[in-house]
Amino acid sequence: MFNSQQVKDDFKRKGLTFSAWAKEHGYRVNDVYRVLNGQVKANYGKGHEIAVKLGLKKAV
Protein backbone atom coordinates (compact mmCIF):
# COMPACT_ATOMS: atom_id res chain seq x y z
CA MET A 1 0.00 0.00 0.00
CA PHE A 2 1.05 3.54 -0.70
CA ASN A 3 0.21 6.93 0.70
CA SER A 4 -1.34 9.60 -1.50
CA GLN A 5 1.93 11.48 -1.98
CA GLN A 6 3.61 8.31 -3.24
CA VAL A 7 0.78 7.79 -5.72
CA LYS A 8 1.05 11.40 -6.91
CA ASP A 9 4.82 11.09 -7.29
CA ASP A 10 4.43 7.83 -9.21
CA PHE A 11 1.95 9.39 -11.63
CA LYS A 12 4.25 12.36 -12.14
CA ARG A 13 7.26 10.10 -12.73
CA LYS A 14 5.32 8.11 -15.31
CA GLY A 15 3.89 11.21 -16.97
CA LEU A 16 0.29 10.19 -16.24
CA THR A 17 -2.58 12.49 -15.37
CA PHE A 18 -5.30 11.75 -12.87
CA SER A 19 -7.96 12.90 -15.30
CA ALA A 20 -6.78 10.37 -17.90
CA TRP A 21 -6.63 7.65 -15.24
CA ALA A 22 -10.14 8.52 -14.06
CA LYS A 23 -11.55 8.36 -17.60
CA GLU A 24 -9.76 5.09 -18.30
CA HIS A 25 -11.23 3.49 -15.18
CA GLY A 26 -14.70 5.03 -15.47
CA TYR A 27 -14.51 7.43 -12.53
CA ARG A 28 -15.16 11.13 -12.21
CA VAL A 29 -12.00 13.21 -11.87
CA ASN A 30 -13.38 14.99 -8.80
CA ASP A 31 -13.89 11.66 -7.03
CA VAL A 32 -10.28 10.65 -7.70
CA TYR A 33 -8.96 13.96 -6.38
CA ARG A 34 -11.16 13.73 -3.27
CA VAL A 35 -9.75 10.30 -2.46
CA LEU A 36 -6.17 11.42 -3.08
CA ASN A 37 -6.53 14.56 -0.99
CA GLY A 38 -8.20 12.78 1.93
CA GLN A 39 -11.53 14.55 1.58
CA VAL A 40 -13.24 11.15 1.35
CA LYS A 41 -12.48 8.38 3.82
CA ALA A 42 -12.97 5.78 1.08
CA ASN A 43 -14.28 3.12 3.43
CA TYR A 44 -16.93 1.91 0.99
CA GLY A 45 -18.45 2.52 -2.44
CA LYS A 46 -16.71 4.22 -5.33
CA GLY A 47 -14.28 5.99 -3.06
CA HIS A 48 -13.07 2.66 -1.74
CA GLU A 49 -12.83 1.22 -5.27
CA ILE A 50 -10.70 4.18 -6.35
CA ALA A 51 -8.45 3.89 -3.30
CA VAL A 52 -7.92 0.18 -3.95
CA LYS A 53 -7.10 0.71 -7.64
CA LEU A 54 -4.66 3.47 -6.76
CA GLY A 55 -3.00 1.24 -4.17
CA LEU A 56 -4.02 3.34 -1.18
CA LYS A 57 -6.08 0.61 0.48
CA LYS A 58 -6.33 -3.17 0.45
CA ALA A 59 -9.32 -4.83 -1.18
CA VAL A 60 -11.68 -6.27 1.39
The pTM score is 0.94
What distance in Å separates the CA atoms of residue 60 and residue 43, rounded to the nearest whole number?
10
Q: What is the pLDDT along the chain (60 residues), one digit of tens a residue?
A: 999 999 999 999 999 999 999 999 999 999 999 999 999 999 999 999 999 999 999 998
Q: Using alpha carbons, list the distances in angstroms from residue 45 to 15, 35, 38, 50.
A: 28, 12, 15, 9
